[in-house]
A and B are shown apart, each in its own frame.
Chain A
Amino acid sequence: MNAQLQPTGSAYFIAKETQKPEARTLSVLVDNEPGVLARVIGLFSGRGYNIESLTVSETEHEKHLSRITICTNGTPNVLEQIKHQLERIVPVHRVVDLSALAAERGYDKPLERELAMVKVNGTGESRVEALRLADAFRARVIDANTEHFIFEITGRISKIEQFIAIMKPLGLVEVCRTGVAAVSRGPEGM
């Protein structure tokens, strides 16, 4: 029997990953209590899952419920684990995979929006150009003096990314982004 020993993996077997990672947006409804965000983040870091973006705020004040939106990626197995592991956290009420839900309902993606505030310094031609482009992107000026603008821009991630890239040569100083907020299309709630 020992003659036919196979090439090894291990008792801690590390299988070659054959599945492709997918991007997902998850909505997590939680009791707004101290430490709840640490539980969620700790789960991701402790189990080696990825977080691309995370936003959180209390959404139902009377019930003290917060809604966390997490953009993550992983293989289908890992994504299933992420969902179940999140559901195991005691203050977590519900986990909805918005990406899967959108696909189920025949959409490409759930509705995803992000807000960014973009500070751009400049004078002369580049300043005029920044303002003109901001207008084209429907970004609003929320602060300005003779040397700078701060733009507020809302939209899909790709739009924000594009806007930031364009502003870079025009005197981009800093950017603050909220992370993605997402809901599913259609009349149904989560």
Chain B
Amino acid sequence: MMSDAQRETGRNGSGRDEMTGAEMVVRALADNGVEHMFGYPGGAVLPIYDELFQQEKVEHILVRHEQGAGHAAEGYARSTGKAGVMLVTSGPGATNAVTALQDALMDSIPLVCITGQVPTSLIGSDGFQECDTVGITRPCTKHNWLVKDVNDLARVLHEAFHVATTGRPGPVVVDVPKDVQFATGTYTPPVDAPRASYQPVLQGDLSAIKQAVELMASARNPVIYSGGGVINSGREASHLLRELVDLTGFPITSTLMGLGAYPASGKSWLGMLGMHGTYEANMAMHDCDVMVCIGARFDDRITGRLDAFSPNSKRIHIDIDPSSINKNVHTDVPILGDVGRVLEDMIRLWRASSPSPDKKALAGWWEQIAKWRARDSLAYKPNKDVIMPQYAIQRLYELTKDRDTYITTEVGQHQMWAAQFYGFEEPNRWMTSGGLGTMGYGLPAALGVQIAHRDSLVIDIAGDASVQMTIQEMSSAVQYNAPIKIFILNNQYMGMVRQWQQLLHGNRLSHSYCEALPDFVKLAEAYGGVGLACSKPGDLDDAIMEMITVDKPVIFDCRVANLANCLPMIPSGKAHNEMLLPDEATDEVLANAIDAKGRELV
């Protein structure tokens, strides 16, 4: 046993290595640069919470549901480039974290989740609040650990941070039984490259990059298709991407996850691609002869019908994850490596080779793109009496673009409208659930972003259905004076579900109408925030300005047109050149857009 005096010196941060498992957890967090974490206490993590109580290095943010902790940590991670950290108890604490873990896995977000576990002697006995946490989280993490010996704890925690943040980032879980938290052992500091079996390849193969540069120089109809990997690679990668675009003069489109890597105001910007992408972006993808995919993964929302995907192109694919290459779409020039490093080499080789691209062909390509752009695929019918959801996002953008603004979203129509109509100029400003499509992501994510950026304007563009999935985190926002703005495009429907029912199921709106919506203004007030409502286009600007000015969490109930559809759209089963455009999408066309076979597949 240690004397109290010994304990005391340890806590004061001297070089002492002997400490309890709970102390190790807090020490390891601090040693890995953690300043904030999100969590919820419970029986199996009380020793760690007791240590948190007695220190000031790591600030703990108390959420109201473990899923909220996960999304908050994701928002924190996405907006800072650091790992997000969450701490939850065993059993239900861990199972509630699963949605956030899978979300982080699919969007490659570095997330370290520490879970409490019943004491090792009780594991397998169906103890109170016991679950097989490592078993349940194995498929939804990049890696996970159950620590049974306190002397392994520090090493595992450091390794967890290393695995979560390097290579293709992702979520990890460290499951710590309660007796291990109480036990005393030796703390070891972080080391570089802790595992022989885990060595991500960062540097791209130069001959492959050279081949890519040659292919790009010969392109007549090129397009750059960038994704979330550019954001994950760090700020420098976004700078290099911009440099490459300027250098080559190629048009660029991006996935939902990649928005902001290239500025929306940039002259080569085509807008987002995919199911609800712009006509020009999708047509350019379809008709291009050379496609440069940078940190994206040919997701099914991007490619549409695979056998008609970009039929005449040679494809270059830069990715840090070898399993992403050739997974859905064949690649001619695969380049394995970190986007930033590969782009650096690519730009250097491009300069050194002083290429002579076919200027005439490129000019013709841009003319073609201008024609596609002139179709104005994001057009919508303005309305003087009712707020159109697109208009609401446009006004929100105009009134917040000159501020230090971060945007999160939930999932659905509002998310797509936000992606289409909010212009992102910088990376890390856009937090959304892309791969998993988690309704309820945006509110806690906004909390996480606000904790990381205290003085910034953080707005969750939400839907009336999604926001209710994690509405309880309003309480956390109020507790921590996090003045997040929840801008609800309220159409009283699960809008995207309703849209698909219109498209696929004869407009039979089965359970997609929110019959009993709360009074969002009163709800905000009940939580101790501020509620605002607006239903007239003429009042919208003033109301948005009021929302921005209030220094408290705000729920903004923006009443929008109920039955607006999110267009353009590649209907299910169609190719990039078969988009439904807003000016053609009459009710009749919508009803017949997808045939029986497409309906089955969705």
Identify the A interface with B (CB < 8 A).
1-2, 4-15, 30-31, 34-35, 38-39, 42, 46, 77, 80-81, 84-85, 87-93
Taking a contact as CB atoms under 8 Å apart, the answer to whether B197 and A91 are in contact is: yes
A80 CB contact (under 8 Å) in B163, B321, B326, B589:
B326
> Given A7-B595, A9-B306, does the pair A90, B142 have CB atoms closer than 8 Å?
yes
Taking a contact as CB atoms under 8 Å apart, the answer to whether A11 and B579 are in contact is: no
Considering the complex, give the chain A residue whose CB is closest to the CB of B581.
A1
Inside 8 A of A8's CB, which chain B residues have their CB?
305, 572-574, 594-595, 597-598, 601
Taking a contact as CB atoms under 8 Å apart, the answer to whether B584 and A10 are in contact is: no
Confirm or deny: B399 has a beta carbon within 8 angstroms of a beta carbon on chain A: no
Cα–Cα distance between A90 and B196 once the two chains are bound (Å):
10
Inside 8 A of A13's CB, which chain B residues have their CB?
300, 303-307, 573, 601
B135 CB contact (under 8 Å) in A4, A12, A38, A85:
A38
Taking a contact as CB atoms under 8 Å apart, the answer to whether A11 and B300 are in contact is: yes
Confirm or deny: B45 has a beta carbon within 8 angstroms of a beta carbon on chain A: no
Inside 8 A of A1's CB, which chain B residues have their CB?
577-579, 581, 584
Give the 5 A-B residue pairs with the shortest CB-CB distance, closest first.
Answer: A8-B573, A10-B601, A8-B598, A84-B323, A90-B143
Besides A7-B595, A13-B307, A91-B197, 11 other A-B contacts (C-beta < 8 A): A1-B581, A5-B574, A8-B594, A10-B573, A11-B275, A11-B570, A11-B602, A34-B146, A46-B139, A81-B323, A84-B325
B598 CB contact (under 8 Å) in A10, A34, A89:
A10
Per DSSP, chain B at the interface is loop
Cα–Cα distance between A6 and B600 once the two chains are bound (Å):
16
Question: Which of A10, A12, A15, A42 is the most central at the interface, judged by chain B CB atoms within 10 Å of its CB?
Answer: A10
Inside 8 A of B580's CB, which chain A residues have their CB?
2
Taking a contact as CB atoms under 8 Å apart, the answer to whether B574 and A87 are in contact is: no
Interface range for B? 35 or more
15 A–B contacts, CB within 8 A, in A order: A8-B595, A8-B598, A9-B573, A10-B598, A11-B572, A12-B300, A12-B572, A46-B139, A77-B326, A84-B323, A84-B325, A87-B323, A88-B322, A91-B195, A92-B197
Cα–Cα distance between A39 and B143 once the two chains are bound (Å):
9
Confirm or deny: B198 has a beta carbon within 8 angstroms of a beta carbon on chain A: yes
Inside 8 A of B326's CB, which chain A residues have their CB?
77, 80-81
B546-602 with Cβ < 8 A to chain A: 570, 572-575, 577-581, 584, 589, 593-595, 597-598, 600-602
A90 CB contact (under 8 Å) in B163, B593, B597:
B163
Taking a contact as CB atoms under 8 Å apart, the answer to whether B305 and A81 are in contact is: no
Confirm or deny: B30 has a beta carbon within 8 angstroms of a beta carbon on chain A: no
Inside 8 A of A12's CB, which chain B residues have their CB?
300, 572, 601-602
CB distance from A38 to the nearest CB of B (A): 6
Confirm or deny: B206 has a beta carbon within 8 angstroms of a beta carbon on chain A: no
Taking a contact as CB atoms under 8 Å apart, the answer to whether A10 and B305 are in contact is: yes
Considering the complex, give the chain B residue whose CB is closest to the CB of A11.
B572
Cα–Cα distance between A89 and B167 once the two chains are bound (Å):
12
Confirm or deny: B395 has a beta carbon within 8 angstroms of a beta carbon on chain A: no
Taking a contact as CB atoms under 8 Å apart, the answer to whether A88 and B300 are in contact is: no
Taking a contact as CB atoms under 8 Å apart, the answer to whether B197 and A39 are in contact is: no
CB distance from B500 to the nearest CB of A (A): 11
CB distance from A170 to the nearest CB of B (A): 44
Considering the complex, give the chain A residue whose CB is closest to the CB of B304.
A11
Cα–Cα distance between A93 and B138 once the two chains are bound (Å):
18
Inside 8 A of A87's CB, which chain B residues have their CB?
322-323
Taking a contact as CB atoms under 8 Å apart, the answer to whether A11 and B578 are in contact is: no
Question: Which of A1, A15, A93 is the most central at the interface, judged by chain B CB atoms within 10 Å of its CB?
Answer: A1
Taking a contact as CB atoms under 8 Å apart, the answer to whether B197 and A6 are in contact is: no
Cα–Cα distance between A90 and B595 once the two chains are bound (Å):
44
Cα–Cα distance between A4 and B579 once the two chains are bound (Å):
11
Cα–Cα distance between A101 and B338 once the two chains are bound (Å):
29
B280-327 with Cβ < 8 A to chain A: 300-301, 303-308, 321-323, 325-327
Confirm or deny: B217 has a beta carbon within 8 angstroms of a beta carbon on chain A: no
Inside 8 A of A91's CB, which chain B residues have their CB?
143, 195, 197
Taking a contact as CB atoms under 8 Å apart, the answer to whether A2 and B589 are in contact is: yes
Taking a contact as CB atoms under 8 Å apart, the answer to whether A15 and B306 are in contact is: yes
Taking a contact as CB atoms under 8 Å apart, the answer to whether B304 and A6 are in contact is: no
Taking a contact as CB atoms under 8 Å apart, the answer to whether B198 and A90 are in contact is: yes
Inside 8 A of A9's CB, which chain B residues have their CB?
305-308, 573, 597-598, 601
Inside 8 A of A34's CB, which chain B residues have their CB?
146
Inside 8 A of A42's CB, which chain B residues have their CB?
138-139
Considering the complex, give the chain A residue whose CB is closest to the CB of B595.
A8
Confirm or deny: B134 has a beta carbon within 8 angstroms of a beta carbon on chain A: yes
Considering the complex, give the chain B residue whose CB is closest to the CB of A14.
B601
Cα–Cα distance between A4 and B574 once the two chains are bound (Å):
11
> Given A1-B578, A11-B300, does the pair A35, B198 have CB atoms closer than 8 Å?
no
Q: Mark B264-284, 1 if CB is under 8 A from A, else 0.
A: 000000000001000000000
Taking a contact as CB atoms under 8 Å apart, the answer to whether B143 and A6 are in contact is: no
